[in-house]
Amino acid sequence: YALSTDGKLLAASFSSNTVLVWRLPGGLLVHRLQSHVHSFAVTSLSFSPSGHVLVSGSEDETAILWNVQHGSVLRRLTGHRSRLNYTVYSPNGVLIATSSLDRSVKIWDASTGACQGSFRFNEDIYQLIFSPDSSRLCIQTFGSCSIYDAQSYRRIALLRQNTALEPIGFSMSRQGDRVVTGASPGNQMRIWDAVTGRQLLPINDNKRKPSYAVAFSPDGAEVLAVARKEDRCACECYALSTDGKLLAASFSSSDIIVWRLPDGLLVQRLRAQSHRNNIRCLSFSSDGHALVSGSSDLDNNVIVWDVQRSHVLLQLEGHQSWWIDCVAYAPDNTLIATSDVSRSVKIWDASTGVCLKNLSLDKHPYWLTFSPDSLRLYLRTSDSCFIYDVRSYRRIAVLQHGENDAIQLSVSRQGDRVVSGGYSENGVKIWDAVTGQELLTINDERKPTPPVAFSPDGAEILAVCEADQTAQALAYDSQTGRLRNIFKLSHKPDCIAYSPNGDYVAFAARSGSLEVYDAKSRTFIGEVEGFGNGARMKEAEFLPDGLTILSHFEENSHESLRLCNVHDLVRMR
């Protein structure tokens, strides 16, 4: 993508030979630049200082200059022998620099398209930057930064860390007088004279170990660098308050971080000596004032926190296993349910911390939740769902599909029904959530499977199938089982999330896909971009505003949380 100098235009290309241009901040699509000129995908973009011209580099080894106002092609720049990876305009608009995977950099006259100079390197090129006065061009390769005179094309300086084999990152000050370079953690940052290439200052910080990412502040008075921990922190668990105003998460530690939404302000960091190992599960009380956390401690502690005052209210002791993997607050805030890997489920008085009941199961519970009226507790194992009365602690029902058939389930928002899906021939089942009586079985030739979900009004249920190697979400009438509609998806989802108002539905897949649809018209809204190759979506849910989606995903063995807005997907269509 590229942003015009005045910030009024945004250009982007989405793995194609088409360039889209929007007007900011309204997000109005003003141009779709497409022609036979680029035969392969666009890989780089840069606006001229005036914003009237846009240069695009492509996999077809060429760069194209576009008249942004008219959407027409001005000229083509040819000469590279491989795909282009960077294009940049000089600040005075006179020159254009391009680089390619053929390890060459070319400087072009922006008005005529004539090639003025060409440089070859022995390493891949990672960045091109003109100095603010357009007199110099900085070229970053893997292990060095070269500064060239943009008029004589003479190399002024070669900036290097300790060896050419050490990767380097760099940034130029806005004043154009200095360059800062960073290297691998634990090595020096260095500040250089951007005109002569003379080293001005080495920065040693062996304690914090600043890394490659470096930048000058706008006034040039400070240098920022990123310090990377040797062990990357993963998001082990998170919880969202009922009103969607607080998000709590723990990142491979015994600390809990609480943010305010939607602005992302960090409001609390909860720490206690009682948790010595990583937090594994979290749940807010319905008013958001308390938070319960379970961990993998040897002393088996479950802690109830006062979120506002950041102190421990209660310690729930009694689990015999060292790993607490599920916690849940009852909607009326009177009870807390917890489970551990020893197949034990405990129900606690949320005000006193007294254990009211211990339930022993034959299999490990993976999920637990209370009914909306707080009268029943639902426990899911690998192949069954148990319904308990939380006043008498009596087991009301066991919901199963087939012997050893793995199931998933969803409780309706009204609390009257449960939908379950399995992988056997028994299809999708709807049960009475109070008595456990089977109300409806949907045996469709399409063979719907999990995940399953009720619409917010309870009128529909969604299940998933694959037909002719195409992923589909099937919308059934929850009373009759009649197929109402079909969503055609790019990837088979592993999680379905409705917005609270029922306007949108999101489908998250382990492949890293997160697709959003209009739930009423079944039209495709957009796919959330930015998840890298190999990303695996774990879950997604809407915030109460009905527009913001919170996703929990794993990428390169690193788990993260991300917020996105449906309106942004609409603007980018």
CA distance 440 to 421: 12
> Could you tell me which residues are beta bridge partners of residue 56?
45, 64
Let me know: does 184 contact 144? Beta carbons within 8 Å. Answer: no
Whether 518 maps to a domain, the answer reads no
Q: What is the pTM of this model?
A: 0.64
Whether 346 maps to a domain, the answer reads no
| 23: its two tokens | 């007007």
> Could you tell me which residues are beta bridge partners of residue 249?
238, 257
Q: How many CB atoms lie within 10 A of CB 182?
A: 25
- For 490, counting Cβ atoms within 10 Å of its Cβ (0-12 exposed, 13-18 middle, 19+ buried), the class is middle
Whether 133 maps to a domain, the answer reads yes
Place of tokens 């015009």: 4
Residue ranges of E strands in 285-383: 290-295, 302-306, 311-316, 324-329, 335-340, 344-349, 355-360, 367-370, 376-380
φ, ψ of residue 166 in degrees (nearest 5): -95, 125
Is residue 426 left, alpha or beta, with left meaning phi > 0 and alpha meaning psi from -120 to 50? alpha
Whether 553 maps to a domain, the answer reads no
φ, ψ of residue 406 in degrees (nearest 5): -65, 135
Q: Decide: helix, strand or coil at residue 567.
A: helix
Q: Decide: helix, strand or coil at residue 212.
A: strand
Q: How many CB atoms lie within 10 A of CB 132?
A: 17
Residue 506 has what pLDDT? Answer: 95
- CATH number of 20's domain: 2.130.10.10
Let me know: does 551 contact 238? Beta carbons within 8 Å. Answer: no
Residue 165 has what pLDDT? Answer: 47
Domain around 167: 2-173
Whether 26 maps to a domain, the answer reads yes
Residue 182 has what pLDDT? Answer: 80
Whether 6 maps to a domain, the answer reads yes
CA distance 390 to 337: 10
- At position 45, the amino acid (one-letter code) is L
Let me know: does 132 contact 143? Beta carbons within 8 Å. Answer: no
| 53: its two tokens | 């011209």
CA distance 499 to 484: 19
Residues counted in the chain: 573
Residue 45 has what pLDDT? Answer: 96
Let me know: does 398 contact 359? Beta carbons within 8 Å. Answer: no
Alpha helices by DSSP H, 144-274: none
**Along the 573 residues of the chain, how does pLDDT read in single tens digits?**
999 999 999 999 988 889 999 999 888 888 888 767 788 889 999 999 999 999 999 999 999 999 998 889 999 999 999 999 999 999 999 999 999 999 999 999 999 999 999 999 988 898 999 999 999 999 988 778 899 999 999 999 988 765 444 557 788 999 999 998 887 555 668 899 999 889 898 877 666 666 667 888 899 898 887 765 544 567 788 999 999 999 999 887 778 999 998 778 888 888 866 677 788 899 999 999 999 998 876 656 799 999 999 899 999 988 877 788 899 999 999 999 999 888 899 999 999 999 999 998 888 888 999 999 999 999 998 888 999 999 999 999 999 886 666 788 899 999 999 999 887 766 799 999 999 999 999 888 888 889 999 999 999 999 999 877 789 999 999 999 999 999 999 888 999 999 999 999 999 988 778 899 999 999 999 888 656 566 678 889 999 999 999 988 877 667 788 888 888 776 555
CA distance 242 to 253: 24
Whether 403 maps to a domain, the answer reads no
Domain count, the chain: 1
Q: Decide: helix, strand or coil at residue 153.
A: coil
Q: Is the dihedral of CA 460, 466, 468, 470 positive or negative?
A: positive
| 128: its two tokens | 């091109």
CA distance 158 to 146: 5
Let me know: does 95 contact 111? Beta carbons within 8 Å. Answer: no
Whether 339 maps to a domain, the answer reads no
Let me know: does 17 contact 34? Beta carbons within 8 Å. Answer: yes
